[in-house]
Structure 1
Amino acid sequence: MTNEALDIAFRRLDSLDLSAIQSSGDWGLGRMFSHLAQGVEFSMSGYPEERSRLFQMSAGKLAFTIFKLRGRMRHGLAEPIPGEVVGDVPAEEGLQRLWTSLEQFRDFRDPLRPHFTFGPLDRDQFAVAHLMHIENHLEQVRIA
C-alpha cells in the first residue's frame, strides 16, 4: 500500500504543469507545496506540536478512519500544521521540496513519529494520509 499510495502521489505531482495552473485558495502554489512537504517531513522527524494523546486516540483516530473509508480528506486548507514554519516560495521550489520529502519518506526506515492529530500511524497509513492531504490541497488548483 505504501508504494501504491506514493506512486499515485508522484504521478499526480508529475502531471502538474506549473506554467498553466494557479491556486484558488488563500495560499499560493509554493506555500501549499511547502506545507505539504513539511507534513511529510514531520512524519519522519516529529511534529512540533501535537494534540493530546486522548484526542489522538479518540477523535483523531476516528477522523483518520473516516477519511480512509471515504478515500478523501477534508480539512481547513488555509490552516497550517501547528508549529509549521513555511513561507511563500516559488511554486517550483515548493514542488521540489514536496517531491524530495516523498522520496525521503519512501526510503525512510526509522520509526515514524505520531501524527499530530491522528496519533500513531504505520507506514501504509501515513502514505495514505500524505496522499489524501495532497489531493485535498490540489482541489484548489485551477487552470490559469
Structure 2
Amino acid sequence: MNRRHFLYSLAAVPVLAVAGIELASRRFIPEADILLAKLEGLKGQQLHSSGSWSPTMVFQHLAQSVMGSVTGYPEHKAAWFTHTLGPLALKVFKTAGAMQHPLDEAIPGMPELDANLPVETALDQLISALQLFQQSTLLQPHFAYGSLSQNDFMAAHQLHIEQHLTQIGVG
C-alpha cells in the first residue's frame, strides 16, 4: 500500500464511523406515551434518590429541560459545538439506547432548583411539560444539541429522563 492509499484509508475511518452512528441512531424510536405512563405511576409513591439531588430536584431539572425545548434555553454552548459534537453525542446516545451525563449538573442559566418544592408538584410539572412539548409545533434549539426535529427532541428527553430515573427508587 502506498502512502496515498494509506492516507485515504485513514481518512475513511472516521467518515464510516459517523455514517454508522447516523444509521444506527435512526433505529431509536422514542415512546412518549410509555414514558408518561411510567411517570404517572410514580404519583403517590414514597420516592427516594440514590444521587445528590432529591426526587423533587430531579423532577424540576427534567421539567426545565423539557420546557427549554418549548420556550428556549437561557444559555447555549458555542455554535461550533451545537453544530458538531452536540448532535453527534445525541446520535451516540440514541445508538446506545441510553444517555450518560453527570446527574447533578444543572442546565446552564436555568433557575436554581427548590429542594422544598413538594415532590408531587415537581412530578406534575414534568408531566405537564411533556404534554405541552407533545402539542408544540415550534421548538427552540437545544442548548447542546442545536436544532432538533420533534422526534429527536423527544428521544433526547426520553433518554435524559430515563437516565435520571435510574436514581429514583420507590419505597
Common fold, TM-score beyond 0.5? yes
> Counterparts of 1:18 and 1:28 in 2: how far apart (Å)?
16
One-letter amino acid of the counterpart of residue 6, structure 1: A
Aligned Cα RMSD in Å?
1.7
Decide which structure has the larger Cα Rg and report it.
2
Q: Which runs of 4+ in 1 moved over 6 A?
A: none
Where 1:96 maps in the other structure, the secondary structure is helix
Aligned residue in 2 for 1:114: 141
- With over 3 angstroms needed to count, the CA separation of the structure-2 counterparts of 1:12 and 1:19, relative to structure 1, is closer
Where 2:31 maps in the other structure, the secondary structure is helix
Aligned residue in 1 for 2:153: 126
TM-score, normalisation: structure 2? 0.78
> Counterparts of 1:101 and 1:69 in 2: how far apart (Å)?
25
Where 1:41 maps in the other structure, the secondary structure is helix
- 1:19 shift after superposition: 3.0
Identity of aligned residues (%): 38
Aligned residue in 2 for 1:13: 39
1:74-115: CA deviation from partner (whole Å, max 9, x where unpaired): 111000000111322111010000011011111112x21111
Contact map agreement 2:86 2:144 (CA 8 A) in 1: yes
Matched, 1:100 2:140: no
Unaligned runs of 5+ in 1: none
| Aligned pairs, number | 142
Decide which of 66, 75, 81 is 1:40's aligned counterpart: 66
> Counterparts of 1:17 and 1:90 in 2: how far apart (Å)?
12
TM-score, normalisation: structure 1? 0.92
- 1:55 shift after superposition: 0.6
